[in-house]
Amino acid sequence: MRYSRQMRTSLLALLLAACASAPPRPLPAADWARAAKIYVAPTQGVPDDFHGYPAELKATVESDLRNAGVLVLPQMQNIGEVQLLIASTDWAHTDDALIVTLMRGSDQVDRFQFTLKDLPCMGVIEALPCMSREVAARTLESKAMAAVVTGKPAPATGQNRTGKLAVLELRNFTRELTKQNAQYFTDVVRGAALKSQPQLEVITRENLIVLLQSSGRDLSNCEGECEVDTGRRIGADLIVSGEIQKVGTKYKLTLRLHDTRQGRLLASSQASGATIDELDGDAQRAAAELMH
């Protein structure tokens, strides 16, 4: 179904108005920023007439990077410079992801994504500053970017992922997938966590059931802070939650990683596929990305 420009704009406004509003987070300091040259490419996956958002998002990201000391290029000048690519999986849904890829020539330097509902400042007025700030902040926090600019090797990923990890059963909002299917995808996340972060103590499904029962928690209608509180109650330092749903013709798997001590969202990732097999293949990538 195609929506008119006015309908798309109204839909986005309604979705954003439903979210809590708070100021964008401060720009993190990056010692390497003043030595960096970055070209911000036009936003992909957003209709050109969508309330001017593609051009405005590009401009606000550029402004944030300049404020951090980065030399923002008006165009690519040579292959050794870094290009920042922004793409949206579905601009009209807060569950879908904004994907940022940092490229140097044909090599991917870093890649990260976040869903609009993960952001704390998604009121209508603050929408663009909030999204652009998150893009700029994560770029400045990128260890891989720092390594490219300074010429020093990036530290190993996942060094701060320590302690106990609990993976809650993924919520299944589809008609096609069974409970066993959802459990399989939950196990995919557990396996990816153990493989990429072997120093973590991953709580098994059996032990998780016992711990949840003893804590008296009901997760059927529990999201956000409730999930973090559940992690604290069962003694987990990190907790992964998520859901599987079908949007249009595609299956979507959304994952979130929280630090239970500070209640902070550490990472989010998303997988998608037109079939269950395609979702399975992309889920492996999304789970590994979440833990890095």
Neighbours of 194 (CB within 10 A): 15
Which CATH number characterizes residue 113's domain?
3.40.50
Q: Of 180, 178, 171, 292, whose CA–CA distance to 224 is shortest?
A: 171
Choose one of 150, 172, 187: the last residue of a domain.
150
Q: Which residue has the higher pLDDT, 7 or 194?
A: 194
Answer whether residue 89 shows pLDDT above 80. no
DSSP state of 121: T
Choose one of 150, 175, 194: the last residue of a domain.
150
Q: Are residues 89 and 204 in the same domain?
A: no
**CB-count exposure of residue 169 (10 Å: 0-12, 13-18, 19+):** middle
Residue 127 lies in a domain: yes
pLDDT of residue 45: 57
Answer whether residue 186 shows pLDDT above 70. yes
SS3 of residue 95 by DSSP? coil
Averaged pLDDT of the chain: 79
Q: Are residues 202 and 231 in the same domain?
A: yes
pTM for the model stands at 0.50
pLDDT of residue 30: 92
Q: Are residues 46 and 128 in the same domain?
A: yes
Q: Are residues 75 and 200 in the same domain?
A: no
Residues 103-127 have pLDDT tens digits of 888 777 888 877 776 676 655 445 6
Residues 197-219 have pLDDT tens digits of 888 889 888 888 888 777 776 55
Q: Are residues 61 and 96 in the same domain?
A: yes
Q: Which residue has the higher pLDDT, 253 or 2?
A: 253
Q: Which residue has the higher pLDDT, 222 or 194?
A: 194
Q: What radius of gyration do the chain's Cα atoms show?
A: 20
Choose one of 116, 150, 184: the last residue of a domain.
150
Which CATH number characterizes residue 279's domain?
3.40.50.10610
Residue pair 33/148 in contact (Cβ under 8 Å)? The answer is no
pLDDT of residue 105: 80
Q: Are residues 176 and 108 in the same domain?
A: no
Q: Are residues 72 and 190 in the same domain?
A: no
Q: Are residues 10 and 146 in the same domain?
A: yes
- Structural domain of 49: 5-150
Please state the domain count of the chain.
2
Q: Of 287, 271, 269, 289, whose CA–CA distance to 279 is shortest?
A: 271
